[in-house]
Every structure is written in C-alpha cells, then in structure tokens.
Structure 1
Amino acid sequence: MSTLRLEVVTPEKKVFEQDVNMVVARGVEGELGIMPNHVPLVTPLKIAPVKAKVGNSETFIAVHGGFMEVRKDKVVILAEAAELGADIDLSRARLAKERAERRLAQKQSDINARRAELALHRALNRINAAGEKE
C-alpha cells in the first residue's frame, strides 16, 4: 500500500511527522480525504481534528486552524496550534469547554462572544481528537 508523508507544524515545533496511507482534514469548504498522488492544493483549515490513517490504525491531531498544502507525496499542515490526541488532558479540555459555554450563556457586554466561541471550538476539537465525541 502506498504512503505519503504527513507533517503537522506549528510556530513552536513539529507536532507530527510520519508516512501515512490517508489524511482526513476539515477545510473551509468541507472535509477532505487525501491519499498518495492526490492533486496538489492549498486550503485553509477549520478548527477540527485531523485523522492520519496508517493501515488499520488512526491517529488524531487537534489542529486549531491554519493551512494544508498537498503535494503528490506529501501533506504539510501549518497550524496556529496543534497537539496529538493522545497528549490531550481531557479533564482540562472539558473544563475549558464548560468555561466557554458559561461565558456564552452570560451574554454580558464585557465578554467577547467571538473569543468565547473560538475557545469553545478549540475545547471541542481537543475533546474529539482525544477520542471522545461531544
């Protein structure tokens, strides 16, 4: 089975680098399944988990926005922030989700609603990448 190289990079570090069979990511236009020899493209990414498939196993990476560049034999994700699902502290992510939901429910003028929405999306992304469905 053919593979392609997946690299997930943030401004701070390289989060993931491995040969994979398929990459599934959520771009702004919808979900993308990338396999070896895919047509080249560049797309902005939503805050959503990226799935890397190797044989029958799957690795999830919480990607918090950025861009994905697809080449014939390589996918590079330049993310604002990213972390492996296995490294995520679920209790901390759940607390962040609850905090963001409380801020959104308060509807106070001093609370930046957009910022709270983004915090909620990031928390849900982390929870999903860690293997729990919300």
Structure 2
Amino acid sequence: MATFHLKIIAYDKIFYDDEAVSIVLPAVDGEIQIMANHEEYVIALKEGEVRIMTSDGKMIPAVCGSGFVEVNSDNQVEVLVDTIERPEEIDVRRAREAKERVEERMRQHQSKMEYHRNAASLARAMARLKEANKYRH
C-alpha cells in the first residue's frame, strides 16, 4: 500500500514521526481520513479519537486535544495538537476528577470566555474517558 510521512506533534512531545498508510482524525465538522497522495489541505481538529495505520499494518489508537493538520503536496502530513496520548497512558481516575471539577465550574455563573474554556476542558476530559474505556479490557 502507498504510504506518506506522518508527523504528530503535541506541545510536550513528538508522538509519531514515521511512514503511515492512513490516519483518521476528529475534524471539527466530522471525522476525516487521510491517505497517501491526499490533496493539499488544512483541517481544524477537535478533541477525540485518532487512529493511525502504520506501514506494517499495525493500528495505533490515541486521543488528541484540539489543533490542526496540514497535508502538503509532497506527501507529508503534519498534525499539531495541544495534547495526544495513547489510551493506556490515560489515568482514568484523574480524568474523571477533571470532568467533575469542570462540570462544577460550569454550574456556576461565569463569563462567556470562562464558559467556552470550561466547555473545551469538559470535551477533552470526556474524550479521554471514552477512549480509555474503549481500549481497556
């Protein structure tokens, strides 16, 4: 199968930097799959599941925060997100506590900016919990 070079960068690490067959990402307007020789594109991402199919046929699941992806004409894809982690790296207890804290803050009177900041935090906590639970046996 045809491959492309994929680089995924979070604020604190390079998560992936190798060849890939495809990547599925949570775009703000729905899930999108990118494969080799995709047209040039810039896509805004939201919190959610990421699935990477490597050149050796292995699927790597992850959960990311918001960011964007750029598809270049030279068959390279670069993903920039605020956070990304594998499901097994997620501390479920911490994620639940974060979700509860954000839900409590959202019940209080707040400015529009605080509301949107808290809504983003809640979306991230819920995405982390969903993905952690999906891949735990």
Q: Which residue number corresponds to residue 127 of structure 2?
A: 125
- Unpaired stretches in structure 1, ≥5 consecutive residues: none
Normalising by structure 1, what TM-score? 0.81
- What are the Cα deviations for residues 69-95 of structure 1, in whole angstroms up to 9, with x where unaligned? 113532110112222333211221122
Q: Which residue number corresponds to residue 26 of structure 1?
A: 26
AA matched with 1:13? K
Alignment of 1:48-59 (within 5 A): 48-54=48-54, 57-59=58-60
| CA shift for structure 1 position 103 | 2.5
- What are the Cα deviations for residues 74-129 of structure 1, in whole angstroms up to 9, with x where unaligned? 2110112222333211221122122222332x233489322221111111122233
Measure, in 2, the Cα distance between the counterparts of 1:100 and 1:132: 22
Q: Which residue number corresponds to residue 13 of structure 1?
A: 13
Pick from 87, 90, 93: which aligns with 2:92?
90
Q: Check whether the contact 1:64–1:81 (CA below 8 A) recurs between aligned residues.
A: yes
Measure, in 1, the Cα distance between the counterparts of 2:115 and 2:63: 22
The verdict on how the C-alpha distance between 1:108 and 1:36 changes in structure 2, with shifts beyond 3 A counting, is same
AA matched with 1:90? V
Measure, in 1, the Cα distance between the counterparts of 2:133 and 2:79: 21
Measure, in 2, the Cα distance between the counterparts of 1:124 and 1:109: 21
The verdict on how the C-alpha distance between 1:82 and 1:30 changes in structure 2, with shifts beyond 3 A counting, is same
Identity among equivalent pairs (%)? 30
Q: Which residue number corresponds to residue 108 of structure 1?
A: 109
The verdict on how the C-alpha distance between 1:33 and 1:17 changes in structure 2, with shifts beyond 3 A counting, is same
**Structure 1 vs Structure 2 CA RMSD:** 2.4
How many residues end up aligned between the 2 structures? 132
- What are the Cα deviations for residues 16-55 of structure 1, in whole angstroms up to 9, with x where unaligned? 2232221011222322111111111111111222211236
Measure, in 2, the Cα distance between the counterparts of 1:86 and 1:74: 28
Normalising by structure 2, what TM-score? 0.79
AA matched with 2:78? V
Measure, in 1, the Cα distance between the counterparts of 2:4 and 2:23: 9
Aligned: 1:45 with 2:35: no
